Amino acid sequence: MTLAAEGGTNDIFLLPNSTFVVCLLIFVVMLWIFNRFIVPPLAKAMQEREEMLKKQAEDRAQAAKRLEQAKERYESSLAEARAESTRIKDEARAEAEKIRQQLRAETDEEIARIRAEGLAQLEEQRAAAVGSLRSEIGGLSTDLAGRILGTPIAADGARKSTIESYLAELASADSGKQSVGGTS
Secondary structure of the chain in HEC code, one letter for each residue: CHHHHHCCCCCCCCCCCCHHHHHHHHHHHHHHHHHHHHHHHHHHHHHHHHHHHHHHHHHHHHHHHHHHHHHHHHHHHHHHHHHHHHHHHHHHHHHHHHHHHHHHHHHHHHHHHHHHHHHHHHHHHHHHHHHHHHHHHHHHHHHHHHHHHCCCCCCCHHHHHHHHHHHHHHHHHHHHHHHHHCCC
Provide the pLDDT for residue 137.
77
Provide CB contacts within 8 A for 160, sequence distance 6+: 138
Q: Is the pLDDT of residue 147 over 60?
A: yes
Q: Which of 21-30, 67-76, 127-136 has the highest mean pLDDT?
A: 67-76
Residue 41 lies in a domain: yes
Provide the pLDDT for residue 79.
95
Residue 146 lies in a domain: yes
Domain of residue 87: give its range: 15-171
Residue 89 lies in a domain: yes
In terms of Cα–Cα distance, which of 170, 142, 167, 144 is closest to 156?
142
Q: Is the pLDDT of residue 109 over 90?
A: yes
C-alpha span between 171 and 45 (Å, rounded):
125
C-alpha span between 152 and 154 (Å, rounded):
6
Contact (CB, 8 A) for 138 and 125: no
Provide the pLDDT for residue 85.
95
Counted domains in the chain: 1
Provide CB contacts within 8 A for 16, sequence distance 6+: 10
pTM: 0.40
Model confidence at 11, in pLDDT bands (50, 70, 90)? low
Provide CB contacts within 8 A for 21, sequence distance 6+: 15
Angle separating helix axes 157-181 and 39-149, nearest 10 degrees: 140
Residue 87 lies in a domain: yes
Residue 126 lies in a domain: yes
In this prediction, residues 145-172 reach a mean pLDDT of 70
Q: Is the pLDDT of residue 48 over 80?
A: yes
Average pLDDT of the chain is: 83
In this prediction, residues 4-8 reach a mean pLDDT of 50
Q: Which of 7-11, 130-134, 167-171 has the highest mean pLDDT?
A: 130-134
Residue 91 lies in a domain: yes
